[in-house]
Amino acid sequence: MDILLSLSSVNWSRGQFALTAGYHWIFIPLTIGLALIMAIMESIYVKTGDEKWKNITKFWQKLFGINFAIGIATGIILEFQFGTNWSNYSWFVGDIFGAPLAIEGIVAFFLEATFVSVMFFGWNRVSKGVHLMSTWLVFVGAVLSAFWILVANAWMQFPIGMQFNPDTVRNEMVDFWAVVLSPVAYNKFLHTVFASFAVGASFVVGVSCWYLLKKRHTDFALKSIKIASFIGLATFIMLAVTGDGSAYQVSQKQPMKLAAMEGLYEGTEGAGLVAIGMLNPAKKAFNDEVDPYIFKLEIPKLLSLLGYRDLNAFVPGIRDIIEGGYTLQDGTTALSFEERQARGKIAIQALADYQVAKQEGRDADAANYETILQDNYAHFGYGYLETGEDLIPHVPITFYSFHLMVIIGMYFILFFVVVLYYLYKKDMRDTKWLQYVALWSIPLTYIAGQLGWVVAEMGRQPWTIQDILPVHISASAVSTGHIITTFTMFAVLFTALLAANITIMVKQIKKGPDTIEPESAAVLAPETA
């Protein structure tokens, strides 16, 4: 217990939030992915009138419903933690961060929750067109829900459209559309939603291949594989495109995160992209002379091209970002950590002086202090940090998470190409090796999704809000013992929910879809499935 208590309450709060978010993201991507797939399947049913497509849709809707219910539970707990564990953060930026979350609850989730009942219970009670509309609106609601949450998260990565009010000591939104249309927001949204489609596609293909292995519901399986494989291939290609857009935004807005993703300690012009490599554990400091890599395979100049759209652009490394002195894209010179720290302390002191002047009725002095505060506010968070090393995220975790995520994405592009080839040129029913590969590939999309969030959140440490608010200032004054207790409770609860989710889904999968055809009936050939 002494070892557990030795960790700070801030680290326990981080762990608790990571635990909740990690479990939440197990359920949500499958929900979004299945929502698209079942909407397409029902559209085919309405267009063709083929009852088989109705039964296929209803089967995947059952699995959707299981994940939808549990995803709500974890999501509600996640939002409550902003008030319980991160009250300073909630006070400091609640006027901005709360707005998209409120819209998500009032509009997006309301839309999703309203029409999900029609989708589940409206079969044979409403017309085909109304039911199909309900299914598509469930999908739209799920996507809109993700959009508003990701807008809030993107603002933490790139705070924009706000003004700091020294009277309330809060950040206030001054440009709603700047927050909503932030380039970080729409890149993050597209990348995350396509990742959810990918999870749904791999899940449907994997489960369908299990039926092929068992020689059950083969017509259902082949039809499902056809829809999911096209979606899977398209979405993984789009993941590569949106991933490039997200990486570009990281290079522009969060250069330290990019440096950690690539294990880049020393900046260089024409920087190469590390395709595969192993970091050197002997590398302990940003300014030592130890080679950061044991080995690496690098694609020349690609990092400069992807990060700055210039083959010969200078990409700053960890050391450059801390020591400053290099030329930024706008032609100005990058400030060192010490310079930003000094300006941050000036801003913090100006805020304190402003409040005293206001209380004493010295309005002219207060106006002067407010000007000093606003001039240095971009560096506000640096005043709470002690050394340049505080700026460095955990490089090995960020580096390996990013590269493993990319490798999994490349694997799935190849995987779906192979599946479509065997679906149309061979016979999926006779390729057991591919069926096993599809079944055991299901966890990989979940792993890739989790790794993406690790890169996004671990890579921006030490910031809760980039450059403005460090994590250790954001936390509530809650005792470590209380956080350990709730952490343990949530860990047990979420694990139980996950176990229940898997058990119910496996039971439903083993039961199989309702079918109007006998198992001995001939199945469609791959070319027409």
Q: What is the mean pLDDT of residues 515-527?
A: 40
**Residue 278, SS3?**
strand
pLDDT in tens, 474-508: 999 888 888 999 999 999 999 999 999 999 999 99
Determine the pLDDT at residue 285: 86
Domain boundary among 345, 361, 388: 388
Reduced to 3 DSSP states, what percent helix, strand and coil does the chain have, rounded to the nearest 5? Answer: 70, 5, 20
DSSP state string for 89-156: HHHHHHHHHHHHHHHIIIIIHHHHHHHHHHHHH-TTTS-HHHHHHHHHHHHHHHHHHHHHHHHHHHHH
pLDDT of 267 higher than 60: yes
Same domain, 61 and 182: yes
Determine the pLDDT at residue 519: 39
The helix (H) or strand (E) run that includes residue 469 is strand 469-470
Token pair listed for 347: 């801003």
Interatomic CA distance for residues 104 and 100, integer angstroms: 6
pLDDT level of residue 529 (50, 70, 90 thresholds): very low
DSSP 390: G
Determine the pLDDT at residue 367: 95
Interatomic CA distance for residues 479 and 487, integer angstroms: 12
Determine the pLDDT at residue 74: 81
Same domain, 178 and 112: yes
pLDDT of 522 higher than 50: no
Interatomic CA distance for residues 285 and 395, integer angstroms: 11
Q: Which amino acid is at 466?
A: Q
Q: Which residues contact 234 (CB under 8 A, 6 or more apart)?
A: none
Q: What is the mean pLDDT of residues 440-455?
A: 95
pLDDT in tens, 207-249: 999 999 999 999 999 999 999 999 999 999 999 999 999 999 9
Same domain, 346 and 473: no
Same domain, 143 and 208: yes
DSSP 389: G
Determine the pLDDT at residue 6: 44
Residues in the chain, total: 529
Determine the pLDDT at residue 226: 95
The torsion angle over the Cα atoms of residues 493, 156, 337 and 168, rounded to 10 degrees, is: -100
pLDDT level of residue 400 (50, 70, 90 thresholds): very high
Same domain, 467 and 360: no
Determine the pLDDT at residue 331: 85
Q: Is residue 1 part of a domain?
A: no
The interaxial angle of helices 218-253 and 395-424, nearest 10 deg, is: 150
Q: Is 359 left (phi over 0), alpha (psi -120 to 50) or beta?
A: alpha
Q: Could you give the C-alpha distances from 362 to 233, 349, 358, 372, 376, in angstroms and in order?
A: 65, 16, 6, 16, 21
The mean-pLDDT minimum among 32-46, 110-124, 291-305 falls in 110-124
Determine the pLDDT at residue 455: 96
| Number of domains the chain contains | 3
DSSP state string for 475-496: S----HHHHHHHHHHHHHHHHH
DSSP 286: T
**390, burial (CB in 10 Å: exposed 0-12, middle 13-18, buried 19+):** middle
Interatomic CA distance for residues 186 and 155, integer angstroms: 11
Same domain, 375 and 305: no
**Residue 360, SS3?**
coil
The CA radius of gyration of the chain, in Å to the nearest whole number, is 26
pLDDT in tens, 139-173: 999 999 999 999 999 999 999 999 999 999 999 99
Instruction: List the domain range (segments joined by +) for residue 384.
Output: 337-388
Cis ω before 513 (30° cut-off from 0): no
The mean-pLDDT minimum among 74-88, 195-209, 404-418 falls in 74-88
The interaxial angle of helices 9-48 and 432-458, nearest 10 deg, is: 140
Same domain, 60 and 111: yes
Interatomic CA distance for residues 496 and 399, integer angstroms: 31
Q: Which amino acid is at 128?
A: K
Same domain, 227 and 276: no
The helix (H) or strand (E) run that includes residue 294 is strand 293-299
Token pair listed for 148: 């508003």
Same domain, 160 and 274: no
Q: Which residues contact 264 (CB under 8 A, 6 or more apart)?
A: 258, 271, 303, 315, 317, 318
Domain boundary among 368, 388, 408: 388
Share of the chain above pLDDT 90, in %: 78
**Residue 239, SS3?**
helix
Determine the pLDDT at residue 66: 87
The interaxial angle of helices 395-424 and 432-458, nearest 10 deg, is: 150
Q: Is residue 526 part of a domain?
A: no
Same domain, 198 and 61: yes
Determine the pLDDT at residue 7: 58
Same domain, 233 and 316: no
Contact in structure between 225 and 204 (CB atoms under 8 Å): yes
Position of tokens 């059952």?
A: 62
Q: Is residue 332 part of a domain?
A: no
Same domain, 108 and 224: yes
Q: Which amino acid is at 82?
A: F
Contact in structure between 446 and 199 (CB atoms under 8 Å): yes
Q: What is the mean pLDDT of the chain?
A: 90
Q: Could you give the C-alpha distances from 452 to 41, 94, 328, 398, 456, in angstroms and in order?
A: 29, 26, 27, 9, 6
Determine the pLDDT at residue 199: 96
pLDDT in tens, 308-365: 999 999 999 999 999 999 988 888 999 999 999 999 999 999 999 999 999 999 999 9
Determine the pLDDT at residue 81: 87
pLDDT level of residue 515 (50, 70, 90 thresholds): low
* Ordered alpha helix ranges (H), 459-479: 471-474
